Amino acid sequence: MLTHSRFFDNLVDLIPAKHYLEQNPDTQLNTRYLKKGEKVAVKQQLKEKYKHNKRTKLDPDAAHTTSSVQQQNTAQTKPAKGGTTNTTEAAKPAVAELPSKGLRLSNNAGSVAGVDDLREKLQKRLQTLRAQRNAHEKQQQLQSAKAWRQQAAERSAARLKEAAQKEAAQKRKAASAEGQPAKKRKEAQGNAEPELAFGRLELGTEGKPGGKSRKDKKATKAELLAQAEAKQQQRQTLAASQDGKEQVRQEAWQAAMSRAKGEKVLDDPKLLRRSLKKEAKLKQKKTAAWQGRLQKQKQDQAAKQSKRTENLAARAQAKAEKKKLKREKKLLRAGFEGRKEGFIQKG
């Protein structure tokens, strides 16, 4: 009991007191509503206190563990509550609290039954946490994945070994054939059946030769959504039996392996609906933008046509004015009289 208590005390001492013990909110002074002179004085005092605390923290002789700080806080708070100090209570060792597990351990080496109860509670708590995070199923999945990888590695090694053996046999056969006389080699070649090699031809089922068939065509998201909904209903039906659960687990495992390889697995109806909705909105937005572009194109075309008509009319008007001016110049006389209106002296 005493050994366990010391062990937990050492664990508590590893945690700094400021993170383990509750801080007193009264010691935190808010300088927001102080006057300017008081604020400067308080800031200077806090700065000196910070330097002193840092110097004390770095001093190995003045260092205090979390247990000792807790004992000091207990000794300071007890007289304020009861009014009188009790030497027997002050002499008691500190109680180490583990707030994350809800356990309290004392340094008192009195009752062994309390430790057994605490151990039983701890084990129950650990089992509950394991059940919450499905530790058993995850461990089984990891083991099955490890076994699958090991089998794949063994199959790959077996294929490599078989290929190496075939290559070595071919080399030995070629070496033995080269060592034979020419006559025997010809006889062996004559007796051996000729090997026929055929070229590889790829014929498409539809369209051009070698083209993709209708089966190889990529499915649309609407079709994928229908397939995902059908699979979801099928999984709900299969979940009623043990074999169905195993089949559902195998399908989930295959999907996880495909995602691990970098492949896209589109089997979530919710995400597919969201994607279809997003594509519909994007299509609508692009349609509106295209209509606006066509409308602007028509307006620009009409403006250019109107400007062209105006320019042609102005050019025709300028041409007519030029002809008129040329005619006027022909009717003028070469003197100061101006345009002839008649004879100066009338007979």
User: What's residue 215's pLDDT?
Assistant: 53
Query: Domain-by-domain residue ranges, the chain?
Result: 2-130, 134-174, 221-299
149-162 b/e (C-beta count within 10 Å ≥ 16 → b): eeeeeeeeeeeeee
| SS percent in the chain: helix, strand, coil, step 5 | 70, 0, 30
Specify the pLDDT at position 113: 63
Residue 326 pLDDT: 84
- Are 129 and 145 within 8 A, CB to CB? no
Contacting residues for 266 by C-beta, under 8 A, at least 6 apart: 221, 224, 228, 272
Q: Which residues contact 136 (CB under 8 A, 6 or more apart)?
A: 130
How high is the pLDDT of residue 201? 52
- Measured CA to CA, the distance from residue 2 to residue 98 in angstroms comes to 18
Look at residue 339 in the predicted model and tell me its pLDDT.
Answer: 58
Instruction: Name the residue with tokens 């247990």.
Output: 67
Q: Are 115 and 107 in contact (CB under 8 A)?
A: no
Task: Show the tokens assigned to 124.
Answer: 């129950």
CA distances from 69 to 5, 23, 75, 93, 99 (A): 17, 12, 10, 12, 18
Residue 218 near residue 266 (C-beta atoms within 8 A): no
Nearest to 254 by CA among 155, 148, 154: 148
Give, rounded to a whole angstrom, the gap between the first and last alpha carbons of the chain: 160
Q: 3-class SS at 104?
A: strand
The tens-digit pLDDT sequence of the chain (347 residues) is 788 888 888 888 888 877 777 766 555 667 777 888 888 898 999 999 889 888 877 777 777 788 888 888 888 776 544 444 444 444 344 444 444 433 444 444 444 567 888 888 888 888 888 777 776 777 788 888 888 988 999 999 999 999 999 998 888 888 877 665 555 555 555 555 555 555 555 555 444 444 455 555 778 888 888 888 888 888 777 777 777 778 778 888 888 888 888 888 788 888 888 888 999 999 999 999 999 999 999 999 999 999 999 999 999 999 999 998 888 777 665 555 555 566 667 66
Any alpha helices (H) in 63-111, and if so which ranges? 66-82, 87-90
Round to whole Å and give the CA distance between 7 and 14. Answer: 11
